[in-house]
Structure 1
Amino acid sequence: MWKPRVLLRSFFLLQFLLLHSVLRQVSAQGSNATTWNTLSGNPPLVIARGGFSGIFPDSSESAYLFAVTASLKNVILWCDVQLTKDSQGICVPDLKLENATNIAQIAKYKSSTYPVNGVTTSGFFSVDYTLKELRSNNVFLVQGNYVRTNRLDYNAFKILSVNDVVETASPPGLWLNIQHDAFYTQHKLSMKNFVRSVSTTVNVSYISSPEAGFLRSIRTFINPKTTKLVFRFPKNEEVDPSTNQSYASLLKNLTSIKTFASGILVPKGYIWPVDPKSHYLQPHTSLVSDAHTVGLEVFASTFMNDIPISYDYSYDPIAEHLSFIENGNFSVDGVLSDFPLTSSAAIDCFAHMGLNDPKKVNTLVISKYGASGEYPPCTDLAYEKAFSDGADVLDCPVQMSKDGIPFCFSSIDLIPNTNVARSEFSSLSKSIPDIQSGDGIFAFDLYWNDISSLTPSMLSPFSNFNLYRNPKFNETVKLLTLSEFLNSTQGLGVVIIIENAPYLARTQNLSVIDAVTDSLSKADYDKPGASNVMIQSTDSSVLLKFKEKTKYELVYMIDELVGDIADSALSDIRRFASSVVIKKGSVYLTNEYFVTGSTKTVPKLKSSNLSVYVQTFHNEYVSQSWDFLSDPIVQINTFVQDARIDGLITGFPQTANRYRRNRCLNLGNSTPNYMKPVEIGGLFQLIDKSSLPPAMAPIPPLIEANVTEPPLAPSSEIVPSSSIAGAPGAQPTQNAQPKVAVCFTISSLTVLVASLLL
Structure 2
Amino acid sequence: MHPLVIGHRGASGYRPEHTRSAYELAFALGADAVEPDVVASKDGVLVVRHENEISETTDVADHPEFAARHTTKTVDGKVLTGWFTEDFTWAELRTLGMRERLPALRKNSASFDGQFGMLRLRDVMKIVDRAAEIARAPRSMVAELKHPSYFASIGLPLDELFAAEINRAGWNAGDGRLIIESFEPTVLAQLHDRGVYGKRILLLEARGKPADLVAQLGADAPRYAHYLTDAGLYDLRGTVDGVSVPKSLILETDADGTVTGASPLVDAAHAAGLYIYCWTLRPENRFLAPSFRRGRYKAQFGNWSAEFRTIMGSGVDGVFVDHPDLAVMVRAELQREEDLLLG
1:144 CA displacement: 0.2
Aligned to 1:317: 304
Partner of 2:280: 302
Give the match for residue 82 of structure 1: 39
- Residues 359-374 of structure 1: matches in 2 within 5 Å? none
SS in 2 for 1:101: coil
Could you tell me whether the CA contact under 8 Å between 1:181 and 1:190 is conserved in 2? Answer: yes
Query: Compared with structure 1, are the counterparts of its residues 274 and 90 closer, same or farther at alpha carbon in structure 2 (3 Å cutoff)?
Result: farther
Q: Does 1:158 align with 2:117?
A: yes
Task: Provide the rounded CA distance (Å) in 1 between the counterparts of 2:117 and 2:281.
Answer: 26
Q: Which residue of 1 aligns with 2:51?
A: 94
Q: Say whether 1:292 aligns with 2:270.
A: yes
How many angstroms apart in 1 are the aligned matches of 2:194 and 2:93? 31
Aligned to 1:140: 97
Supply the distance in 2 between the matched residues of 1:163 and 1:87 (Cα, whole angstroms).
13
Q: Is the 8 A contact 1:166 1:202 kept in 2?
A: no
Structure 2 partner of 1:527 = none
- Take 1:145 and 1:269, find their aligned partners in 2: how far apart are those partners? 21
Contact 1:322 1:351 in 2 (8 A): no
Of 151, 173, 187, which residue of structure 2 is paired with 1:184?
151
2:246, 2:280 within 8 Å by CA — same for their partners in 1? yes
Matched, 1:167 2:167: no
Structure 2 match to 1:105: 62
Root mean square deviation of aligned Cα = 2.0
Q: Report the Cα offset of residue 128 of structure 1.
A: 0.2
**Which of these two proteins has the greater Rg computed from alpha carbons?**
1
Whether contact under 8 Å (2:253, 2:260) holds in the other structure is: yes
Aligned-partner residue type, residue 18 of structure 2: S
1:64 aligns with 2:51: no
Gaps of 5+ in 2: 132-138, 172-176, 214-220, 294-301
8 Å CA contact 2:200, 2:242 repeated in 1? yes
2:219 maps to 1:260: no
More helix by share: 2
Aligned residue identity for 1:181: P
Q: Measure the CA separation in 2 of the matches of 1:78 and 1:283.
A: 27
TM-score when normalising by structure 1: 0.38
1:228-251 deviation per Cα after TM superposition (whole angstroms, max 9, x unaligned): 0000013x2211122232111232
* CA-CA distance at 1:311 after TM superposition: 4.9
- Kindly state the Cα deviation for residue 283 of structure 1 after the two structures are TM-superposed: 5.3
**Residue number in structure 2 paired with 1:230:** 201
Q: Give the Cα separation in 2 of the matches to 1:279 and 1:197.
A: 47
Aligned to 2:326: 342
SS of equivalent residue, structure 2 residue 80: strand
Does structure 2 retain, via aligned residues, the 8 Å contact 1:98–1:124? yes
Which residue, out of 98, 117, 129, partners 2:88? 129
Cα deviation code 1:574-601 (max 9, x no counterpart): xxxxxxxxxxxxxxxxxxxxxxxxxxxx
Counterpart check, 1:44 vs 2:3: yes
SS for the counterpart of 2:94 is helix
Letter of the 1:190 partner, please give it.
Answer: P
Counting only pairs closer than 5 Å after superposition, residues 400-419 of structure 1 correspond to structure 2 as: none
- Aligned mates of 1:143, 1:278 — CA distance in 2: 35
Answer yes or no: is the 8 Å Cα contact 2:7–2:322 preserved in 1. Answer: yes
Whole-angstrom CA distance in 2 between matches of 1:85 and 1:278? 49
Q: Contact 1:262 / 1:297 at 8 angstroms: preserved in 2?
A: yes
Counterpart residue number, 2:210 = 240
| 3-state DSSP of counterpart to 1:153 | coil
Structure 1 distance, partners of 2:13, 2:335, is 22
Q: Quick one: percent identity of the two aligned structures? A: 22
3-state DSSP class of the match of 2:39? strand
- Going from structure 1 to structure 2, the CA distance change for 1:319 and 1:352 (only over 3 Å counts) comes to farther
Q: Determine helix, strand or coil for the equivalent of 1:108.
A: helix
Measured against aligned partners, the alpha-carbon deviations of 1:149-181 in whole angstroms (never above 9, x if no partner) come to 1111132x1000011122245241111101201
Aligned residues of 1:60 and 1:141 also touching (Cα < 8 A): yes
CA contact under 8 A between 1:94 and 1:100: conserved in structure 2? no
Shift in CA distance, 45/222, structure 1 to aligned 2, threshold 3 Å:
farther
Give the gaps of 5 or more residues in structure 1: 1-41, 358-758
Name the structure, 1 or 2, with higher relative contact order (CA <8 Å, separation 6+). Answer: 2
- What does the per-residue CA deviation read over 1:452-493, in whole Å, with 9 as the maximum and x for residues that have no partner? xxxxxxxxxxxxxxxxxxxxxxxxxxxxxxxxxxxxxxxxxx
User: Equivalents in 1 of 2:106, 2:239: separation in Å?
Assistant: 37
User: Which secondary structure does the structure 2 equivalent of 1:207 belong to?
Assistant: strand
Q: Secondary structure at the match of 2:245?
A: strand
SS at match of 2:34: strand
Check conservation: 1:163, 1:202, Cα contact below 8 A.
no
TM score, norm. by length of structure 2: 0.82
Q: C-alpha displacement at 1:282, in angstroms?
A: 4.7
Kindly provide the CA deviation profile for residues 126-159 of structure 1, in whole angstroms up to 9, marking residues without a partner as x.
Answer: 00001101123xx11110013101111132x100
Q: Distance in 2 between matches of 1:287 and 1:63?
A: 31
Q: What residue is the counterpart of 1:193 in the other structure?
A: 160
Question: Are the counterparts in 2 of residues 301 and 337 from structure 1 also a CA contact under 8 Å?
Answer: yes
What aligned pairs does 1:722-733 form with structure 2 within 5 A after superposition?
none
Distance 2:261 2:5 in 1: 25
Cα deviation digits, residues 27-62 of structure 1 (max 9, x gap)? xxxxxxxxxxxxxxx421011011100010001111
Could you tell me which amino acid in structure 2 is paired with residue 99 of structure 1? E
Within a 5 Å distance, the mapping from 1:653-732 to structure 2 comes to: none
CA distance in 1, matches of 2:290, 2:60: 39
- Corresponding residue of 1:212: 185
How far off is 1:312 after superposition? Answer: 4.1
| SS of structure 1 residue aligned to 2:38 | strand
Deviation at 1:284, TM superposition (A): 3.3
Q: Decide whether aligned partners of structure 1 residues 334 and 87 sit closer, same or farther in structure 2, where only a CA change above 3 A counts.
A: same
**C-alpha separation in 1, matches of 2:260 and 2:106:** 29
